Amino acid sequence: MTQTFFKESDFEIFTTDSTLETRMSAIQNEIQPKFKEIEEEILPFLNVQTDQNFFGHIAKHARRTVNAPKDTWIAFATNNRGYKMLPHFQFGLWGTHLFVYFGIIYESPNKQSIAINFEKNKNKLYKMIPKDFVVSYDHMKPDVVQKSKMNKDEFNKGIQRFHDVKKAEYLCGITIAKDEAITLTKEELIQRIIETYNTLIPLYKLSIN
């Protein structure tokens, strides 16, 4: 029988009522070892494709003191001390889906200059991002906008908001619904992640130039 990588129980960690301690224990025991396996495959790919040295950062949720996290992730960035200040790649899960993103979040000190660069290249970006990809403007919410449902004006407004609003973010990539995610083997999932990041590398390069 084919061994799938993520199980129904992995997603149930985020949909079952639990304390901070209980959920964090489940994340550390069940999810984070899988993140380490993904990291082993993805870091060499990113290093070769970008000609840079990437590091994996598994979310510690260290600031939480009461409320249990609603999602968890690993981020890949070129600083071994942190990722939030840099353009980076993410892989993670909510109770409903996996996400595979490139992102710039509000902590980035270069957010505005990156947004200006995106604005200058907005037509190229609109063509480059596939229709089945999604855009998120807030990494703390599961909501996304399908690229296929955005016309050029709506797409451009997202870039403008990313520039104008201090807390606005820009994340782009794919989501994989839970029902599909639990059918994928490790090899199939890694291939999806690599294909997605490969598509997003031009966006990454645009954000660091």
Q: List, for residues 30-86, the tens digit of each pLDDT value.
A: 999 999 999 999 999 999 999 999 999 999 987 777 788 999 999 999 999 999 999
Report the 10 Å Cβ neighbour count for 81: 8
DSSP 8-state symbol, 28: I
Q: List, for residues 2-15, the tens digit of each pLDDT value.
A: 799 999 999 999 99
Gyration radius of the chain over CA positions? 17
What pLDDT score does 94 carry? 97
Q: Are β-strands 88-94 and 71-77 bridged in parallel, bridged antiparallel, or unpaired? A: antiparallel
What pLDDT score does 43 carry? 98
What pLDDT score does 1 carry? 59
Helix ranges (DSSP H) in 27-166? 32-50, 111-120, 122-128, 152-164
3-state secondary structure of 102: strand
% of the chain surpassing 70 pLDDT: 100
3-state secondary structure of 3: coil
pTM, entire model: 0.95
* H and E: helices and strands count for the chain: 8, 7
| Of 87-91, 156-160, 163-167, the least confident | 163-167
Q: How confident is the model at residue 142 (pLDDT cuts 50, 70, 90)?
A: confident
Which CATH code is given to the segment(s) 8-208? 3.30.930.20
Q: Which residue has the tokens 């690229």?
A: 147
